[in-house]
Amino acid sequence: MVQLHIASLSGNAGRRYFPFSGYLGLTPVTVQGVVHTSLESDGKPIRARALTVSVRCYETRISRSRAVRSTLLVDQSVTLWQKPPAADFEYLGETEYPFTITLPKRCPGFSAANFHDYRTFWRLEAVLEHVPVSGVGSRLLRYYDLALVRYDVPPSPISVNPPPPSTHALHLQTTKPRAPIIRYNISTPTLPIGPNDLIFTSLFLQPLDPNVSIRSASVVIERRIDLHHFLASTASDLSLPPPSPVPATPISASPAATDDSPTDDDSTLSGHVSPRYLSDFRSPYSLTPSASSSTLNSTSSGTSSSTTHPLLAASPHHTTPPIKIPDHSRRSSTPPQAFSPTSSLSTSHDAPARTLTMNVVSTDNSSLTCDAAGVWTKTMTLQWPASRSLSRWALGETMHSSLASVRFFIRVKITIASPAGNEVLELDPRELTVAATSEAERRVALAKYAEQREGVGRSKSKSPWRARREQEATGSPPGRPEAVPPIPPRSAPSSTDHGRHSHKSSPRESSSSAVPPPMPGRSLDLEAQRSKTTRRTTRRPHTSAGPRDKSNLPYAAQSDVGMRSTPDAEHTHTSSPGPQPRGMPRESGLGESVGYAMAEGRDRDRQREREREREREREKERERRSVAREKERRKAKEAVPDVPVADVRAWEQELARIEQRSRRSSAGMLGSWGLMKRKRVAQPDGG
């Protein structure tokens, strides 16, 4: 047997979520890694049929009877290895296959989220199909979760022709029996909201009875999760023929080419997609998949052609060509679908099996104002909570599928005071479109993605020669009389070039090795400078690239020593510490680096010398303190009066007698204790 492993190219794959790059729904998403197999302790290879890697999106529903139903929404697979066509199986041992899977911008699927009894998630799966083994099966699976979050905007549930908000027409009224009638209108956001967004809700209320007043109003945003019947949506409801395999066709475009235009990304999507997704181009949030939801082309670095795998067996009576997503020119002609608070777009007209509700955020206010026309108005502000981690229950986003629908509504309750008493009236709910990300997050994501794309072709080297080449490339074009080479040209070192290898150089050698700054009334030989520039050898773009980069080392040493040894060095060397004239480019290269290093070495020598001076000062201070302490000890000894030797001996003898007496008393105490112990032991024996 063999073991199957998945490793990442850009991070540690031992964590829970596999790394990826891109933003789902906003930019292409790229997943890169390596799938490798290793032999177990027996060292035997396995007979296998194929090795594939896939990026898939699932939705899972748990029923009241705890039965689990899963639906595959997105499947983008790549075949890394497969058996020869003439054989049924082929031996597979220790191998390693890199892969790259790119999801297009218009890829369907939902954000990864965990709800009660409902879940949507993305996975990177590696599957090895091998010969059937008893107790094991015929498939070896390894997977990692992908923390993908949609960055696009779901379709708005607002009707096609909503009433203009500026008129504030009170076209609605309450219908509670035996309660005062209130004409009202509610102004809610028409654009999708995201984490940390502010939600402004304006209320316009007008009681028909002038004796009725509005005491308070409360606004609650409620989330509804409608869990549909398992058999409510089938393949026949989609008005599409049964799924059939799509032949694999070679793809010549690379994933980098698909990043340039949105139409290229959309054209890579093929398979069986919900008609609603085709009619509403803006987002695949309303995707209604069957058991075979979608089939996507994919490219990989491990294979030269794309492969498509149908999720159900082919039907012999139907063949379905690949479905093309409408291009940008036809998108604006399709209006968004109208939503109603009580409709379910992802299932049939049957009622949902179960509905889960939760209050997300709420507020109330009792300071409504009334104008001369008797219209009570109030604008209430709520803030949508911040996004939660995937380890917690998700707030979710507006989405519709075959198993569940997640929607959000603004519910308003008002308390009125009438001659008959106080009444609580509930107004009609308004549906709210919620996205997984806010507009600010989308802008930040686009900025980061643009920065990453700009940095793809940019070298990470900080070599000064790279800056020099960029400066030469962006400088004035040759042929202009005022074009001066930005870098002083220097030829390659030779055995006859003594000015580069000596500590002192003549003015002629200095003028040939460095171009002086332009002075008023002085012309430069541009042709000679250009010829010297062309004779200059190319260098590798790194400061530690090798021996070829050390051509400036003798020149740097000469410049540095010349600055210290000759008084006229600052006039003959371009690396002089004096101020450079404006317009003269700063010398860059290994010579500057070595000169800087030598100057820094001198600074370190001075620093060490100062440290040694401080240490000598500390040593002198310690010596002075020790001498002062010795003097104090001598003075203390001189202050003590002399004691006769006879008295000292008498004191010592008295101390010895006291010590001997204490030892005898201790021995007597121990002896009496032992005698008493022996008596206690002897008494039981005698009895």
Largest CA distance in the chain: 136
pLDDT at 470: 57
The better pLDDT of the pair 346, 128 is held by 128
Query: Is 618 within a domain?
Result: yes
Determine the pLDDT at residue 647: 84
Amino acid letter, residue 643 = V
> Are residue 150 and residue 296 in the same domain, yes or no?
yes
Q: Write the pLDDT tens digit of every residue in 617-651.
A: 999 998 988 898 888 888 877 776 666 788 888 98
What's CA 333's distance to the chain center, in Å? 36
Q: What is the pLDDT of residue 412?
A: 95
The beta-strand segments (E) located in 384-514 are: 399-400, 404-418, 421-426, 430-432
Closest by Cα among 651, 458, 652 to 541: 458
Asked if residue 576 has pLDDT above 70, the reply is no
Same domain, 247 and 394: no
Looking at residue 41, which CATH number applies to its domain?
Answer: 2.60.40.640
Closest Cα partner for 576 from 586, 563, 585, 567? 563
End residue of a domain, out of 276, 294, 329: 329
Q: Out of 86-100, 160-174, 354-368, which region has the weakest mean confidence (pLDDT)?
A: 160-174
Convert the pLDDT of each residue in 194-226 to its tens digit. 999 999 999 999 999 889 999 999 999 999 999
Number of Cβ atoms within 10 Å of the Cβ of 219:
23
**E strand or H helix that includes residue 104:** none
Are 556 and 630 in a shared domain? yes
Residues 140 and 33 in one domain: yes
Which of 597, 619, 637 is the last residue before a domain boundary?
637
Residue 526 has pLDDT above 60, yes or no: no
**Are both 246 and 213 inside the same structural domain?**
no
Three-state SS at 393? coil
* Single-letter residue type at 222: E
Identify the residue with better confidence: 14 or 327: 14
The reply to whether 249 and 321 lie within a common domain is yes
DSSP 242: P
Query: Residue 415: is it exposed, middle or buried by C-beta count within 10 angstroms (0-12/13-18/19+)?
Result: middle
Number of domains in the chain: 3
Residue 378 has pLDDT above 50, yes or no: yes
Mode of pairing for the β-strands spanning 2-8 and 90-92: unpaired
Distance from C-alpha of 403 to C-alpha of 234, rounded to nearest angstrom: 11
Least confident window among 197-206, 277-286, 462-471, 670-679? 277-286
**Inside any domain, residue 308:** yes
Residue 481 lies in a domain: no
Q: Do 91 and 130 fall into the same domain?
A: yes
Q: How far apart are CA 48 and CA 132, in angstroms?
A: 9
Top pLDDT among 608 and 589 is at 608
Structure-model confidence comparison of residues 645 and 528, the more confident one: 645
Residue 118 lies in a domain: yes
CA dihedral sign, ordered 178, 181, 182, 185: positive
Alpha-carbon distance 96 to 230, whole Å? Answer: 41
Q: How confident is the model at residue 438 (pLDDT cuts 50, 70, 90)?
A: very high
Residue 477 is assigned to a structural domain of this protein: no
Looking at the structure, tell me whether residues 360 and 380 fall in a common domain: yes
- Domain presence at residue 416: yes
Q: What per-residue confidence (pLDDT) applies to 276?
A: 32
What letter would DSSP give residue 568?
A: T
Note whether 280 and 141 are same-domain residues: yes
Looking at residue 578, what is its pLDDT? 46
Domain enclosing residue 359, as ranges:
172-230+352-443
Check whether residue 572 and residue 545 sit in a common domain: yes
Residue 254 tokens, joined: 């690379």
386 & 399 share domain: yes
- State both tokens at 556: 């740097």
What percent of the chain stands above pLDDT 90?
31
- Whether 37 is in a domain gets the answer yes
Tokens of 248: 């694999």
In a domain, 39, yes or no: yes
**Of 128 and 523, more confident:** 128
Q: What is the pLDDT of residue 486?
A: 44
Q: Does residue 266 surpass a pLDDT of 90?
A: no
Taking only Cα atoms into account, the Rg of the chain, rounded to an integer number of angstroms, comes to: 43
77 neighbors 309 (Cβ within 8 angstroms):
yes
357 and 310 both lie in a single domain: no
- End position of a domain, from candidates 615, 637, 659: 637
Provide the whole-model pTM: 0.53
Residue range 16-35: mean pLDDT, rounded: 92
Cβ neighbours of residue 585 closer than 8 Å, sequence gap 6 or more? 471, 486, 487
